[in-house]
Structure 1
Amino acid sequence: MSTSYDSAKLQDQISSTCIDLIMEDAFFGHFLLSINREISEDGPTLWVRPSSDDKVLMGINPNFWTTELKKKDFRMGCIKHEVLHVVFKHLTRAQERSGGRRQYPNAKLFNIAADLVVNQYVESSWLIDGAVKLQSFPDLNLRKEMDVSYYYNKLDDFYKDQMGNLPQEAQSSSDLGESGDGTGKCPSCGKEIGESDDESGDESGGGSGDSEDGESSDESGDESGGGSGDSEDGESSDESGDESGGGSGDSEDGESSDESGDESGGGSGDSEDGESSD
């Protein structure tokens, strides 16, 4: 349900958070310059998606910001989460094809996989409750600092073995882990976990945010839960550039860390039509 908010005050808080993040790590300054921001209720948390001017648009739900992100650390964590989706090019990676077919047909799993990648580089005290972590899947023995394809394949195998019964931690995260409702749906996009997108679609996978996946959360948008948001998750590029966040290099078997270029090919978070959240 919508609540009233002071738009000017909210914009000031968001700008201040971005400045604080740059002060903590100047690396993020370059990426934040390429990201436009909008206050919108299109997604439940935060998300990123491609914009019409070849940049990336970060959406911020005002209700989520004012009610769930009261602490400065949580605000910085959510912004950093979304920027990392851009750093790792999750928006473009969500659209990768192999043999004419989408390499990551399940956008919700891609969103979760993308959030597993980025949340490893967000300070644990900056992550809100419900954020997707490697510890969310103790039975999978997930390796650290691997790329999105590694986590996607691990989750896909797990999903098939468990007949769709993902852990509640995964169900409740899209950009940065917004709490789920116990229905087995992705809180980013509202779709059933495990539902595949049709090949002709333009959606991106992933947020934590958890979210309409991409609107942070992973049809690449968390939900970064922030969200991927929790938001409809997904996103990233298939190209490696400069190494970011201390990830290790990609290997041919798909097990490797995500590496970033200094620009985003699109954007991440959880979302439809290339939108990614948290």
Structure 2
Amino acid sequence: MPNNKPVNGQKTPSFFDLIDQTPPPPVLELDSKPGTRRLAKLRAAWKASWEEGGFLYQRWEEVLQARHGSWHEVATWIKAAALFGGLSLIVMMVDAAGDIASATLKGLSAAPATGAGDGGGLWGTVAHPVQVFLADQAAHLAVAPAALYAFWQLAGLLGLIGGFLGNAGPRITWVLFGIGTLATIWSAAPAGGRAAATGLAALMWALASIFALRGLTLRPIVHNHPPQYQFNAALHLHATIPAPTPASDDFGDETDNIHPLQR
């Protein structure tokens, strides 16, 4: 990579320029193979580039100075390498997250619709009525009950995580998820335990909302901003002072200075 940046008024040669400019070390006359001469020339150029003022020596100095300088003072090639590495890492993370999400959705879809079918335990008391309701509705739709249940779980998980991060959209999703779940449990739960199952689901949803709706307040937020324009109560009086009249002389030039002699 050529380096056209002048150093001390002189152009710094690149590593490939040094290959052409560095004379090869002396070799035996019997050893005149072209491959051996090129290898010796490359070795000499490599050593010369690491000497003070060489191409690789200056690049190494730029790497050492990058630890103490700001981003604007870092060499351009270091910035490009850092940005390329960061973009590559983001692409790999997005690709890995997509594979994990796809595997999770496939696992949830493959799960039977009656995973908590006995309705035992606190979670079964809440999840079983939802599964029963979705299974009844899926009979009239072109979708499997397991897919509906997986979507219900995914919506609640995204609403909980996104609400914890403070995003408005996931918080709205979490609120709608809770209301829909309570309505579903009230509709599909047995008549004898309908109120208890709905109340238990409401308490669980309220406890989870502590994390999903953290920091949310109904109090109005008052922002006290300083006024853009500041007015100073000051009175400015402009008085016009007349110019002073020139003093008159007594040399008798003016007629007003002539007075008659009185006896």
Structure with more helix by fraction: 2
Scaled by the length of structure 2, the TM-score of the pair is 0.24
Structure with more contact order per residue of length (Cα contacts < 8 Å, sep ≥ 6)? 1
Which structure: greater strand fraction? 1
- Structure of higher CA gyration radius: 2
